[in-house]
Amino acid sequence: MPPRPRTMSRDPTPAVSGIVERFAGLWSALAGAMLAWSMVRPYLPRHLLPDRLAGGSLLRCHARSLLAGLLDPYLTVTLAEYGGGEGMRRGAAYERAAAYLGARCAREARTLRSESARDGGGRRRFVLRVDDGEEVADEFRGAMVWWHAVPAPHHRHGGPRCDAPGEDAGRTYHRLVFHQRLRDLVVDSYLPHVCREGRAIMEANRRRKLFTNAGERYGKSSWKHVAFKHPSTFATLAMDPAKKREIMDDLDAGRRRIGKAWKRGYLLYGPPGTGKSSMIAAMANYLDYDIYDIELTSVSTNTELRRMFIDTKGKSIIVIEDIDCSLDLTGKRRSRQQPLPGPADDDADAPPPEPTSIGRVTLSGLLNFSDGLWSACGGERVIVFTTNHAEWLDPALIRRGRMDKHIEMSYCCFESFRFLARNYLALDAHPLFDDIRAQLQEVDITPANVAELLTPKRAGDDEGSCLAGLVEALREAAAAAAAATKNATSNNIQEDGEVVEDE
């Protein structure tokens, strides 16, 4: 490794004396020129001098930078952890440089910090970062540059000086030092290279996150997050294979638009337990995206909703579950705690329940959220609304273009059952399959129920007992449905025995 540049050590004594000797002649010439200039300048007519030169500032400025260049030919670029117009977010350039340095220069650093991350296969591993205060050298196209991790200033009580006045309080920096003759190389090629490589490393080490705005808030960010670990994938999702393929192709089409902002909107609708949330998780796992799960009842204003959106990062799925529970067409909202009618008392023809609490996120706020901002924020995003009652939603909210795809998640058909039997019991055929096929044509049962029944629960449970349990449940459901129909019919018979037509 070549000797470290003098600016890194900030100990200029030997360097200065060498440079002073070497450039003594130049200095005296410069001093002579300045003296001559100061003598001549008062006698020159002012109007002949450009404004700045007349005041001497340009010359002084040049002289100063020439002297500085002679004394210290090294330039410094500072990448701050926070700031740089990114508000409370960690600076992207800082993060990328940190990732790059960790991967490329960590072997040279004497103190490293380890951070836990997961690789593409979900296995935990450690990522090394250059620790605060460390200096490392890097070589790029034969040129040497030096990185210095500058820790946050600490005040005397030990912790970061967050409360200290001034710009630098509580911040850490990466400082890049290089010779001034490398300026073009560093600015035009090296820094973009660091950004590119750092970004790729971050992608590879990324742990996906599930963000939510519900509950208590810490700090200024609208979002809290936990690691996102959901087992659902397209390979575990039981649904019409053609429909599944179509969704995957649609996601692929967006993903192929590398570097361009794109968004897709999906409306997932269907009864509870048909796999809407599982579909969202499968999408996130397929695309390798984060999820932002918006609890709309916790958002007080359209402005807050907008700010939350701006706070999201690219490569993410923004989800509003049960959108019919969160917002009514006039902008009044109902708490999620107040449940919708369950499947048993579910009546598709019934009007949507009256909202009981009035919030300030309006339909138009949501419409702006779902389309107006996409173009401005760039990135790659998918927005998903789920509902048990698509018919209750305002057509404006779900029109094509806003919600590009409307996907119905439906009750379990025989194909879906076979898929689940293969996944849960490793079965492709069984004598009970014919019976189950016949029953599924008569009875509505959700994939969630079927999955539950096909899961062995007690020691001694096997494929046969699980399938028998399913047959039994289907029979009971058929009997319950028949009884409900009979009840409904008898309710429509008036006391005098007349049958009242349904409207």
Cα gap 42→62, rounded to integer Å = 20
Q: Cβ 227 to Mg ion, closest distance in Å?
A: 20
Q: Pick the stretch among 81-89, 158-166, 200-208, 271-279 that binds Mg ion (CB under 5 A).
A: 271-279
Of 430, 403, 424, 400, nearest to 412 by C-alpha is 424
Q: Long-range contact list for 227-234, CB < 8 A, 24+ apart?
A: 228/284, 228/290, 228/291, 229/122, 230/278, 230/281, 230/284, 230/285, 231/281, 232/278, 232/279, 232/281, 232/282, 232/285, 233/281, 233/282, 233/285, 233/286, 234/282, 234/286
Cα gap 478→26, rounded to integer Å = 101
Q: Does 278 bind Mg ion (CB under 5 A)?
A: no
Q: Does 308 bind ligand ATP (CB under 6 A)?
A: no
Of 395, 416, 394, nearest to 470 by C-alpha is 416
Cα gap 35→26, rounded to integer Å = 14
Q: Does 237 bind ligand ATP (CB under 6 A)?
A: yes
Q: Does 80 bind ligand ATP (CB under 6 A)?
A: no
Q: Does 362 bind ligand ATP (CB under 6 A)?
A: no
Structure tokens at 123: 């296995």
Nearest CB to ligand ATP, comparing residues 213 and 416 = 416
Cα gap 17→6, rounded to integer Å = 12
Q: Does 273 bind ligand ATP (CB under 6 A)?
A: yes
Q: Pick the stretch among 132-140, 271-279, 349-357, 433-441 that binds ligand ATP (CB under 6 A).
A: 271-279
DSSP state of 5: P
Q: Does 409 bind ligand ATP (CB under 6 A)?
A: yes
Instruction: Out of 212, 222, 277, 439, point to the residue binding Mg ion (CB under 5 A).
Output: 277
Q: Cβ 277 to Mg ion, closest distance in Å?
A: 3
Nearest CB to ligand ATP, comparing residues 315 and 389 = 389
Structure tokens at 491: 């309710």
**What is the DSSP pairing of strand 209-212 with strand 224-227?**
antiparallel
Of 279, 285, 215, 281, nearest to 247 by C-alpha is 279
Q: Cβ 375 to ligand ATP, closest distance in Å?
A: 30
Nearest CB to ligand ATP, comparing residues 276 and 315 = 276
Q: Which residue is nearest to Mg ion (CB)?
A: 277
Q: Does 424 bind ligand ATP (CB under 6 A)?
A: no
Q: Cβ 224 to Mg ion, closest distance in Å?
A: 20
Q: Cβ 103 to Mg ion, closest distance in Å?
A: 39
Nearest CB to ligand ATP, comparing residues 59 and 448 = 448
How many beta carbons lie within 10 A of that of residue 288, not counting itself?
Answer: 12
Cα gap 230→282, rounded to integer Å = 8
Size of the site for Mg ion (CB under 5 A): 2
Query: Could you tell me how many residues make up the chain?
Result: 503
Q: Does 384 bind ligand ATP (CB under 6 A)?
A: no
Nearest CB to Mg ion, comparing residues 277 and 316 = 277
Q: Pick the stretch among 85-93, 262-270, 276-284, 432-440 that binds Mg ion (CB under 5 A).
A: 276-284
Nearest CB to Mg ion, comparing residues 277 and 298 = 277
Cα gap 295→224, rounded to integer Å = 12
Q: Does 388 bind ligand ATP (CB under 6 A)?
A: yes
Instruction: Out of 447, 453, 466, 474, point to the residue binding ligand ATP (CB under 6 A).
Output: 447
Residues 238-267 that bind ligand ATP (CB under 6 A): 238-239
Q: Pick the stretch among 10-18, 235-243, 361-369, 431-439 that binds ligand ATP (CB under 6 A).
A: 235-243
Nearest CB to Mg ion, comparing residues 244 and 276 = 276
Nearest CB to ligand ATP, comparing residues 222 and 274 = 274
Q: Which residue is nearest to ligand ATP (CB)?
A: 275
388 interacts with, out of ligand ATP, Mg ion, none, CB within 5 to 8 A per kind:
ligand ATP
Q: Does 416 bind Mg ion (CB under 5 A)?
A: no
Instruction: Out of 5, 198, 265, 275, point to the residue binding ligand ATP (CB under 6 A).
Output: 275
Q: Does 272 bind ligand ATP (CB under 6 A)?
A: yes
Of 388, 396, 402, nearest to 362 by C-alpha is 396
Structure tokens at 261: 């902002």
Cα gap 429→417, rounded to integer Å = 11
Question: DSSP per residue over 397-450, as a string?
Answer: HHSTTTS-EEEE-----HHHHHHHHHHHH--S--TTHHHHHHHHHH----HHHH
With left for phi above 0 and alpha for psi between -120 and 50, is residue 454 left, alpha or beta? alpha
Give the residues lining the site for ligand ATP (CB under 6 A): 236-239, 272-278, 388, 409, 447-448, 451
- In the complex, the residues that contact Mg ion under the rule CB under 5 A are 276-277
